[in-house]
Structure 1
Amino acid sequence: MAYRSAFGRWDSQASVRSKPVRETTEPTDCYYPPELVTGYPELRSELAPEQLQHLLTLHLYAYLDFTVQLESLIVLPVTARLGSGRAGLELPPAMRRDAMAITTDEAWHGQFTFDLIERIGAQTGVPPRLPETYEFQRVRGRLRESVEPALRHAFDLLITYVSETLISTKLLMLPRDERLPTYVRDVIADHGQDERRHHAYFRALLPHFWHSLGRRDRAVLGALIPEMISAFLGRDESLERHCLTRAGLRPDRAADTVRALRGTGPAERLLHDSRACVRYLVELGAVDLDMIEERLTA
């Protein structure tokens, strides 16, 4: 199948080439949708109004920093190898060129997200105290160590495919939420517009990658896909404890609160946000849909 590039107008549409630096707008009382914070209705009886606002801002920081870490540590190394022809795949020149465009995009996303965190901190007075690591990094490290060294570049490409084809509720919801400051919404919207092109690219790349693998390697990597999805979309209890503690809850109380909320994870959201990623894999015969759904809802 001939490759149809989604980057034909990259020079005029990519945020790094065409979007202005978003000027800081007036503050609001809300910097993150409460609906996206696990157990928020219960937390309203635990925290004062000022602490709740603090908590929402901390969750926004974490979402933004998650983006910086993902783009810098997972996506960029893979797209650089794809673009330079060092990913072990025979790709047409247009696909290599588009991989280099994604590399440029992702570096820019990391830069403008870092800048956004600083501006929010200056506006709110809430220090951007960020977690040292995130669940997706811990899971990624464990899974990568579980495969033999010769398969780790393929693992890196697969987990990048997963991250780039998930359609996050957060990425869709935040730009539309008028409770948030306009500049925050605009920056996240700019990011989302670029990610739609990246999604199209990795969908087109998937057959090239999957058909390059042997049967045994496909079985090994395919079995890891549900955990990869959960790493990006599932609950991060360590992050939740971090945010609660920084918002003013005692560490022991924060731990008890997070523990009490176990079993309330967003299983439906996992299925919803991963549907496109999984569908492309199922269409290719790479995974069994029932297996994916069973493990995501377990």
Structure 2
Amino acid sequence: MTSASYRSAFENWDSRASVRVKPLRPTTDETATFFPPEQITGHEELRGVLTPEAWRRYLVLNMQAYLDFTVQLEALIVLPVTALIGVDRSGVELPEAMRRDAMAITTDEAWHGQFTADLMRRIHAQTSVAPSLPATYEFQRTRDRLRDSVAPALRPAFDLLVTYVSETLISTRLMSMPRDGRLPGYVREVVADHCEDERRHHAYFRAFLPYLWRSLAASERSTLAALVPDTVVAFLGRDKALEEHLLVRAGMDAAAARDFTHDFTDRSVGPRIARDSLACVRYLAELHAVDLDRFQERLAAA
């Protein structure tokens, strides 16, 4: 891909980006559902076990944790990488237009972190359910473990690849919420603003991936490609430590929460991961970085 062939998704950024044209959304009426139950492992079983009040708390706690995960993802993983790309310190040779667009993404992501943190505060004020947040999430723990497993010289490229993965997966997780009429209007509107920006980020990192892959030696490509499945599963799969933590905070007995979290098998998780990661994996397959069918089979078995 040459600089002439790069097609920027940011040509209308000044008139479309949420940080430029979308104000903070005013709080609307509370609803009974603050998080899509279908995104919760064992939601049908839990709804029959928890009291109505505990179930309501559990939904709110899940939304707060999801939003906090988003803030941490943007601030701790994505922002450092897009800033380095923007100031030409990524180690990847890029057209000037791509470096410029990376600075726009840096601005977007800082705003996403700010309005997401604001959304958490307003949900707390409206529901009287205080956030109960873990120190880290499964994605961060897996990312740190995998990063430590590669040679120090390869870690900057690993950071770039993890950002590619997260930016091509996050839009998938966001997309259904704005259409979910069970959620409060202001929650759906904030998520919709985020989702619109992330579509541009997804397009950017799809274009960025070939530049990153060309910058690597064959052995480096092989090492990094082998780490992608665990990264995808950690991003889209279950976080059992978080599930147990939130169940206890919702009011379930600690032993019961531990038993449910570790004994319950959700056979839909693997196929869902394979489906929701299809675009992310397909772009890698186009570069012959992975075998798409074998990769999807591996994810479906997660």
Q: Shorter-chain TM-score category?
A: over 0.9
Amino acid at match of 2:98: M
Q: Per-residue deviation at 1:295?
A: 2.2
1:270 matches 2:273:
yes
Counterpart pick for 1:293 among 293, 296, 300 = 296
Instruction: Write out the 4+ residue segments of structure 1 that deviate beyond 6 Å after TM superposition.
Output: none
**Greater Cα shift, 229-238 or 283-292:** 283-292
Cα drift, residue 170 of structure 1? 3.4
Deviation by residue 1:232-275 (Cα, 9 ceiling, x = unmatched) = 00000011001100000011110001112135351121011101
- 1:30 matched to which residue of 2? 33
Give the Cα separation in 2 of the matches to 1:284 and 1:170.
25
Equivalence for 1:69: 72
Other-structure match for 1:174? 177
Distance 1:214 1:30 in 2: 49
**Distance in 2 between residues matched to 1:84 and 1:42, nearest whole Å:** 50
Shift of 1:169: 4.6
Name the structure 1 match of 2:125. 122
CA distance in 1, matches of 2:268, 2:133: 22
Cα displacement string for residues 133-164 of structure 1 (whole angstroms, at most 9, x for unaligned residues): 10001000100000000000000000100011
Q: Does 1:133 align with 2:136?
A: yes
Normalising by structure 2, we get a TM-score of: 0.96
TM-superposed CA distance for 1:288, in Å, is 1.1
Residue number in structure 2 paired with 1:221: 224
Determine if contact 2:272/2:300 at 8 Å carries over to the other structure.
no
Contact 2:162/2:231 (CA < 8 Å) preserved in 1?
A: yes
2:212, 2:176 → 1: CA distance? 31
Matched, 1:48 2:51: yes
Structure 1 unaligned blocks of 5 or more: none
Give yes or no for contact 2:57–2:250 (8 Å, CA) kept in 1.
yes
> For residues 11-22 of structure 1, what are the structure 2 equivalents within 5 Å?
11-22=14-25
1:191-210 alignment to 2 at 5 Å?
Answer: 191-210=194-213
Equivalent residue letter for 1:205: F
Residue 147 of structure 2 corresponds to which residue in structure 1?
144
Asked whether the 8 Å contact 2:171–2:202 carries over to 1, the reply is no
Secondary structure of 1:44's counterpart equals helix
Find out whether 1:240 has 2:240 as its counterpart.
no
Q: How does 1:249-264 map to 2 (within 5 A)?
A: 249-264=252-267
Q: Give the TM-score, by structure 1 length.
A: 0.98
Aligned 8 A contact 2:42 2:266 in 1 = no
* Structure 1 position 59, deviation (Å): 0.6
**8 Å Cα contact 1:168-1:273 kept in structure 2:** no
Distance 1:6 1:168 in 2: 15
User: Which stretches in structure 2 are left out of the alignment for 5+ residues?
Assistant: none
Corresponding letter in the other structure for 2:195: G
Cα RMSD for the two superposed structures: 1.1
1:168, distance to aligned residue in structure 2 (A): 5.0
SS in 2 for 1:140: helix
One-letter amino acid of the counterpart of residue 221, structure 1: L
Instruction: State yes or no: 1:281 paired with 2:287.
Output: no
Q: What is the rounded CA distance, in whole Å, between the counterparts of 1:72 and 1:259 in structure 2? A: 30
Matched residue, 1:59: 62
What SS does the aligned partner of 2:48 have? coil
Task: Verify: 1:108 aligned to 2:94, yes or no.
Answer: no
Sequence identity, in percent?
63
**Residue 230 in 1 paired to residue 230 in 2?**
no
Contact 2:248 2:257 in 1 (8 A): yes
Give secondary structure in 2 for the equivalent of 1:166: helix
SS at match of 2:249: helix
Does the alignment pair 1:157 with 2:160? yes
Amino acid at match of 2:287: L
